[in-house]
Chains A and B, each alone.
Chain A
């Protein structure tokens, strides 16, 4: 039943949804917002990459990674290293004791470019590294964890610990990484000044296009057999395994995809904001990124984008007017989304607005729209091995 519905929604209504989103971020925002606000939206959209990845691996795969900041950060750092090298040409760094290397290295008595920095002089390598480095790390983590059938909660905590370790490492090795300040003062990309308003606008569109591309890839994955298997695994992993599928490989794959998406977001963040710092790698931002997906709807790729936009917009507005209230609001949001709107905005849309729309437009459809919307309305099982569509009471009496 799921597969037909997926094709159904992914096909027509999903197409409309995608068009609406594309129109919003490609036409409405650029026309309605000044360059300052547009740049802010661009920054929010880079978080949406992470949220889209989380929809894939958490909403559909049941893998809740609390360390997506790792990948966002790695992607961002790869890009930042390239930009920093370009900004550190011998001419503009001539006051240093060793001209031609990044300023923070000079402050830390490093006299030549470390080996692992050198490939980042090549733009091609950098583009490859942005996607490949995080994906390889995700592969290693995934191989270790999923092949040995590490449970969901363990996995979450272990990803958290990895995020903590990486933060400590980056901060500790400041001669190589810029430390707690991060890599700042990035200027040009292949000679093109990324700080001007025109550049920001172009980068905004590149970012938006990449995001839409990621959503399409996500759609493609979910519409394939893999998507159905993922959901089956999330709900009854053992049965999928007994049916002869290699459950771990699927999990690893979707985790790697989510990591690559996050990394692209990170790289675009660096380009648009002009710096990268370890504060994106840690535990707190990683969990915040989960809430973007949760608010948008953990089962909806498009919802994730709206979630990232709304939460960040709320953050900006709230912290401008009521800095004191912001944390209450954010905390309340976590609780409310989990308790009352487990499907987030997308769930609300499906259960209310789309019903109304469907009644308006498709009165003669054989399948009642209410029933059509139902699967998305069910709270998704967030842990493998549970079926949340079954009320808790009922489950308790099922051994």
Chain B
């Protein structure tokens, strides 16, 4: 459900810095195709773009380690947004727009970059595997390209400033359809998205900073989501977690914060064999443990909820989540916090790693 964020960002492109940053996401998306329950996701078709929906993203995070066992992390996201519900045309008249975010968390700190491109001219895009024979998602020289007629195996290459990142991605498990067969409801009023994940990705590669190259290895998580109206009018933002636990389980959980405090909670509990159990509000206990003030790089300091406890009573799990570094703020057009988190069990023992995304705190 990092979705919204993305949307957000998308909608923002490259323009908006608003008092109500989520305004566009609450737009009913009239004229665009709407998300309906009962739609059957089909692959590889749905790996490709859905330009008749307003917003969409390909969102990869990875928790990596170097040879010394130090934690690293990366995020690479490509967002698509339709600027109008008109039929899609090619060339400079295209109504499609693209935005990409990339960030790395390194022992030296957190670095990020944001890019924009218009659709229809080849500067950015995502290909349909059926047409191309491989998967390709790119914006300028940032590129994800598979070597087969599937999302994986693939090579991901991008740069952030002087740092050059090259990764090999290999799926080690099945895709997971979130919500009900990929229909992911976001509010009681009916806002929803199509949402699937690939939480089983083996990642290997290197980051070169112009002087030295660091070999990295770890596990990644891909989220794919598209919609035309993902947010309800009374939703302020969200807190989203994707966790790789040391015992092989995976957890995705998010809450959409409501004005009245009755937040919308949802998630998926994925066992090591790939089986997933949908989590609903009753099955998730999400508790904020600590807020801390961080420097957000725009001459401001912001207070962000950085430590959490999540409990899944049905699965007898109690996990404590804290950031690897507090300073993982994305000072992008729409600012948000996204970064590597460490997971501990209720006895305080290391239990895994993951990514956390916090929006609506600006």
B and A form one assembly: no
* A residues lining the B interface (CB < 8 Å): none
